[in-house]
């Protein structure tokens, strides 16, 4: 077991993280931290490096260079112990389609050695308002129902660090709003640190404390959503996103540019 980390420490700390595929740098010298109890938005257009960065945080990809520390430990050396204390949800990850919903959650719950598992399954299904799907075959769920089941899976072990990759994709506005409230509630009740990626800027503006914006594999800027909007003199984070995504001439000065810098 790990010793508890001090509240001033980072839950996750990435230093000069780089991942190359041949001559192409999908992630190039990225550094950021996630603080205890913080919801950090990781933004960027398709191809900016978000998925590659997340895969390195999960230990699915090894960095070409740089380091990742989670709970104060080197991920490369302590991956199994670290992963027991965190979890991951992605709309684009398929769960076993031939099992009932309760069976899927039972499999993952046993992997994480979740105590009082039957009760915990009912709790997370109720939290996401899909208790009525408990005996439904997973492969017969709608896209929105599958998204909520994936989030249930991610909450089973009460993670201290939660990586959420577009958790409101495929959801109608009503359910997306409920999911945002669930994420905020989980943070408030458990103190979990959360990394949150989304192309829905309302998500980010509503629940993220800070944002790290990636562009072409590098950190373009960091700051609160409001700071970023002011820095770019736009009226919404969505307009900032569109401006950055369409810009082919964004240049880097050699240092990370942060929202609010002159």
pLDDT tens for 194-219 read 999 998 888 899 999 999 999 999 99
pLDDT tens for 29-77 read 999 999 999 999 999 988 899 999 999 999 999 999 999 999 999 999 9
Under 8 Å between Cβ of 66 and 18: yes
Please state, in angstroms and rounded to a whole number, the distance separating the CA atoms of residues 249 and 198: 24
* Ramachandran bin of 37, using left for φ above 0, alpha for ψ from -120 to 50, beta for the remaining angles: left
Residue 188 belongs to some domain of the structure: no
Residue 57 belongs to some domain of the structure: yes
Residue 44, domain extent: 1-85+161-166+194-262
Task: Copy the structure tokens of residue 114.
Answer: 């979740």
pLDDT tens for 107-163 read 999 999 999 999 999 999 999 999 999 999 999 999 899 999 999 999 999 999 999
DSSP 8-state class, residue 100: B
Is the model's pLDDT at 92 over the cut of 80? yes
Residue 106 belongs to some domain of the structure: no
Residue 25 belongs to some domain of the structure: yes
Domain harbouring 74, CATH code: 3.40.50.300
Number of domains in the chain: 1
Tell me the pairing of strands 193-197 and 161-165: parallel
Whether the model clears a pTM of 0.75, i.e. scores above it, the answer is yes
Is the model's pLDDT at 254 over the cut of 60? no
Residue 223 belongs to some domain of the structure: yes
pLDDT for 248 equals 52
Residue 214 belongs to some domain of the structure: yes
Residue 261 belongs to some domain of the structure: yes
Helix, strand counts (H, E) of the chain:
9, 10
Residue 64 belongs to some domain of the structure: yes
What is the residue-wise DSSP string for 36-80? TT-EEEEE--TTSSHHHHHHHHTTSS--SEEEEEETTEETTTSHH
């Amino acid at each position: 077991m790990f010793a508890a980390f001090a509240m001033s420490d980072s839950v996750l700390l990435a230093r000069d993280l780089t991942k190359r595929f041949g001559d192409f740098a999908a992630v190039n010298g990225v550094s950021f931290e996630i603080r205890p109890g913080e919801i950090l938005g990781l933004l960027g257009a398709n191809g900016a490096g978000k998925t590659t960065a997340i895969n390195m945080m999960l230990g699915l990809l090894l960095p070409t260079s740089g380091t990742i520390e989670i709970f104060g430990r080197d991920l490369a050396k302590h991956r199994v112990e670290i992963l027991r204390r965190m979890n991951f949800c992605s709309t684009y990850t398929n769960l076993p389609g031939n099992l009932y919903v309760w069976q899927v959650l039972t499999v993952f719950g046993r992997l994480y050695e979740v105590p009082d598992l039957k009760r915990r399954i009912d709790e997370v299904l109720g939290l996401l308002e899909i208790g009525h799907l408990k005996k439904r075959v997973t492969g017969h769920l709608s896209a929105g129902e599958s998204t909520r089941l994936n989030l249930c899976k991610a909450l089973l072990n009460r993670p201290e660090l939660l990586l959420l990759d577009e958790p409101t994709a495929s959801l109608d506005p009503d359910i997306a709003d409920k999911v945002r409230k669930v994420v905020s509630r989980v943070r408030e009740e458990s103190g979990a640190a959360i990394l949150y990626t989304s192309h829905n800027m309302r998500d980010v503006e509503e629940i993220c404390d800070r944002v790290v914006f990636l562009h072409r594999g590098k950190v373009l800027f960091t700051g609160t959503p409001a700071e970023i909007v002011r820095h770019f003199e736009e009226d919404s984070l969505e307009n900032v996103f569109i401006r950055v995504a369409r810009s082919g001439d964004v240049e880097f000065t050699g240092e990370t540019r942060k929202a609010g810098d002159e």
